Amino acid sequence: MENFEINTILTLTLVLIILLWVVLIFGPWLRALLSGIRITHTEMLLMRFRNSPVNSIINEMVRARKAGVLVNRDEIEACHLSGGNVKNVIDGLVFAKAHDFKLTTKEALKLDLQKRDIVNYLREKI
């Protein structure tokens, strides 16, 4: 009877670990992979440990990728960790790309940290 209880606990623990992995890591990783974004499971796990919103960052990176804007995950995560608005940065980069305005990720991050709406700022410049 004792072996049965230990085996049950171990099995349930393993099932819980697998479910957490699927929900927290595999889903966003697969979405990124299917969009052409290369990110490892370890990077995503470390993002979770740093309290970065993995799903939000992956969604914004996918949106940028589909718009033809290449962004670096480290820079986007750093934007969030420094108090920036990742969506504002990606919106600005996508708008700049669509209107043939040269805007680097670092410039967009700098504008965002100044609490500017990047799209409105670029509209005024154009």
Q: What is the pLDDT of residues 71-98, one digit of tens each?
A: 999 999 999 999 999 999 999 999 999 9
pLDDT of residue 5: 87
pLDDT score of 54 more than 80: yes
Question: Would the pTM count as exceeding 0.75?
Answer: yes
pLDDT of residue 89: 96
> 20 pLDDT band (50/70/90 cuts)?
confident
pLDDT score of 1 more than 60: no
The Cα–Cα gap between 29 and 40 comes to 7
Average pLDDT over residues 26-55: 90
